[in-house]
Structure 1
């Protein structure tokens, strides 16, 4: 894979993060539909039973309800071949129900890492590690 394709893959994922941070549901949905294959293989701790690209939409719908000011900061992003690895810091204020917990008004800050595999210029697979323990501790669940 050429450097140009690796750069394009990073730009695609950056567009996804920007759409997440916009909290504009129409922009977000359009970006997910463009950037992800409908048959996406999604493996990450997520409060959804949806599959494919629809899982991404559902996860963020739930996160935005719980954390209306949710923000993802990209700390590092590396591309090699058909893969992009991205490390993030996620912040938000718990203002809606989340995983059965009533709003606490507390702030959360946690880390996550995702590895994405691209096929035909779209994200075909994503595997993530999210520091759920940090979320739960900050929300008082552990």
Structure 2
């Protein structure tokens, strides 16, 4: 499992927008959401076509499908931190990046 953390709403928003540019047909299905206090956990499934470069990886035009978990810390109704866990090796294999 690959883990990444992004601080503040700007960090989260930038990563999402950059990834959507690389995968213009991106689909995310949220399976479950659990919340307690200022913590939220969401499980999801993501699919799309890796068409354009992202984070140093060349676009390949290959389709992918991965499952993952997001952990959020919320402060005053806003995302303050997001930790993302998913099978990065599986994703890279599906898009022929490795």
- Relative to the length of structure 1, the TM-score reads 0.59
Equivalent position of 1:90 in the other structure: 46
Mapped pair 1:108 → 2:67: no
The structure with the greater share of residues assigned to strand is: 2
By how many angstroms is 1:71 displaced? 1.4
Query: 5 Å matches for 1:1-142?
Result: 44-45=3-4, 51-142=7-98
Q: Larger Rg: 1 or 2? A: 1
Tell me, yes or no, if the aligned pair for 1:45 and 1:130 is still in contact at 8 Å: no
User: Which structure has more RCO (C-alpha within 8 Å, separation ≥ 6)?
Assistant: 2
Cα distance change of structure 1 residues 66 and 80 upon mapping to structure 2, 3 Å threshold: same
Secondary structure, in 3 states, of the residue corresponding to 2:47? strand
How large is the Cα RMSD of the aligned pairs? 2.0
More helix per residue: 1
The unaligned stretches of length 5 or more in structure 1 are: 1-43
TM-score (norm: length of structure 2): 0.81
